[in-house]
Structure 1
Amino acid sequence: MTTDPLLLTGEVDDATARLLATAETLDTAAITAASPLPGWTRGHVLTHLARNADGLVNLLTAARTGERIPMYASPAARTADIEAGAARPPAAHLDDLRRSHERFAAAVAAMPAPAWAATVQTHRGPLVAARLVWARLRELEVHHVDLGAGYAPADWPEAFAHRLLHEVAADLATRPDAPAMVLRFDGSRHELPIGTASAPTITGPAPALAAWLIGRADGTGLTVEPDGPLPTPPEWI
């Protein structure tokens, strides 16, 4: 399970193509309808994805040039851009998604090898530039689900679901607000422990486990041993 930026670029292209295929099915009524994210329509989700690509272009440029370029001008500007674009017609959303992806792909292609080791400042804190392509892939796949338009965690590519699950589990293992548990994939003896060894074991497919941990599923279909309620994961990023 690699997060090598050059090996993930094809997966970003594929995820973008899947997102565009879904977006092409949305008419004006569907775009202005509520998404599963509180307070956001599908238009907000699509606009966020386009602006996220541009924000990552800013960070890639910072890594390549050594300039201090923020991902977004400010939190307020990020919010304003999403609000301003949310109610656009379907064709405008599609064009924006395509063009922002092209800008992102061009910025990745322009990166010299040493620049991937640079540290950039995201709106959540410092990050090594080599993680930016994975960050884009994660945004695409998770927010595609957030459109509530037929794409579900079960549709995630297997490699992506496993990467996401390992990342989230590793993060939870460092958080004092995370409940103790052991995550086990269906049909596998591989386990990801979080907290104490006496914790309950949660078993299910990797996409279902990951989606539950990040608040995109309620855990239906997961099993708990010994029998009991599912723990409550803390809020994801």
Structure 2
Amino acid sequence: MMDHVRDLASVRDATERLLNAAAELDNASASEPSRLPGWNRGHVLAHLARNADALVNVLEGRPMYVSGDARDADIERDAPRPLDVQLADVRESAARLQKTADVPADWSRTVELRNGVTDTAARVPFRRWVEVALHHVDLGIGYELEDLPAEFVTREIGFLAERFVGHEDVPSTDLATDDGQVWTTGGGAGGGPVAVRGPAADLLGWLCGRRDGAALRAEGGPLPTLPPL
């Protein structure tokens, strides 16, 4: 069961961690490439701010974004801003999301995200935690997948494993971390079952497209090629 209050506290902690780390940048380094293809660090920071506002829309029953093109245009518009403006925007947009989440509401209700995806309102804070935590890694400023909280890593692996269940391009796949945590995913494609084992950070990195899976061990077949998220 989702604990949205606890997740909101984790979002606040992750946001402060990111802001404190990004404050060590300067305008020049903020415009350098991030680890995401085609985006510099300014794009990542702009996306985080606009994502917070988009989740306010979700919680208040409005479309998450006006359109995909509008979302992309907003990020391109905001990416070149000076670092102090970027950080203030991330902080202020995060505060707006927190204020919205503090309003008494039915957290069991269904909300709509991008591209017609639906979820319970209670999972929105965790989704925001994912955005903040993984994009902190994407900034490429010394925070790695290995630095993520263990609870987050376990939950995000489970979330992504669930996302690929029955996917037509993913064979039946058993996932396990070196410390014995297990999940199953795929099953929509022929072949398998494939057993994939390795460190939790590498397993997460492979599932979310941040690592190529070279540190993982596959048994029963080759390491599956995962579709884009």
TM-score (norm 2): 0.91
Return the structure number with greater relative CO, CA threshold 8 A, min gap 6.
1
Shift of 1:229: 4.3
2:224 to 222, 231, 234: 231
1:144 to 133, 136, 143: 136
The unaligned stretches of length 5 or more in structure 1 are 63-68
> 1:72 and 1:193 mapped to 2: Cα distance?
30
1:210 to 204, 214, 220: 204
The change in CA–CA distance for 1:189 and 1:56 in structure 2 (over 3 A counts) is closer
Query: Matched residue of 1:219: which SS?
Result: coil
Q: Does the 8 Å contact 1:185/1:191 carry over to 2?
A: no
Give the aligned partner of residue 33 of structure 2.
Answer: 34
The change in CA–CA distance for 1:177 and 1:29 in structure 2 (over 3 A counts) is same
| Consecutive aligned runs of 4 or more in structure 1 exceeding 3 Å deviation | none
Shift of 1:94: 1.0
Q: Does the 8 Å contact 2:164/2:185 carry over to 1?
A: no
> 1:34 and 1:25 mapped to 2: Cα distance?
16
Deviation track 1:144-188 (CA, whole Å, cap 9, x = no partner) reads 111122211111111111111111111212211113321111031
Count of residue pairs brought into register by the alignment: 226
User: Are residue 179 (structure 1) and residue 171 (structure 2) matched?
Assistant: yes
Counterpart code for 1:187 = D
> 2:171 and 2:182 mapped to 1: Cα distance?
20
Deviation track 1:107-134 (CA, whole Å, cap 9, x = no partner) reads 111133xx21222221232222122111
> 1:70 and 1:85 mapped to 2: Cα distance?
21
User: Are residue 222 (structure 1) and residue 216 (structure 2) matched?
Assistant: yes
Query: Matched residue of 1:202: which SS?
Result: strand
Q: Does the 8 Å contact 1:60/1:111 carry over to 2?
A: no
Counterpart code for 1:78 = R
Deviation track 1:54-110 (CA, whole Å, cap 9, x = no partner) reads 111111122xxxxxx111222222111111110111100111111111111111111
User: Are residue 53 (structure 1) and residue 46 (structure 2) matched?
Assistant: no
The change in CA–CA distance for 1:75 and 1:154 in structure 2 (over 3 A counts) is same
Aligned identity (percent) is: 42
Deviation track 1:185-231 (CA, whole Å, cap 9, x = no partner) reads 103163435438942311112221011111101113212235x6422
Counterpart code for 1:161 = V
Give the aligned partner of residue 111 of structure 2.
Answer: 120
Give the aligned partner of residue 81 of structure 1.
Answer: 74
The change in CA–CA distance for 1:98 and 1:193 in structure 2 (over 3 A counts) is closer
The unaligned stretches of length 5 or more in structure 2 are none
- Name the stretch that deviates more: 43-52 or 134-143: 134-143
Counterpart code for 2:107 = W
Counterpart code for 1:20 = L
Q: Does the 8 Å contact 1:162/1:207 carry over to 2?
A: no
Provide the alpha-carbon RMSD of the alignment: 1.9
Query: Matched residue of 1:116: which SS?
Result: coil
Q: Does the 8 Å contact 2:194/2:222 carry over to 1?
A: no
Counterpart code for 2:21 = T
> 1:124 and 1:58 mapped to 2: Cα distance?
14
Counterpart code for 2:171 = P
Q: Does the 8 Å contact 1:183/1:191 carry over to 2?
A: yes
Counterpart code for 1:128 = T
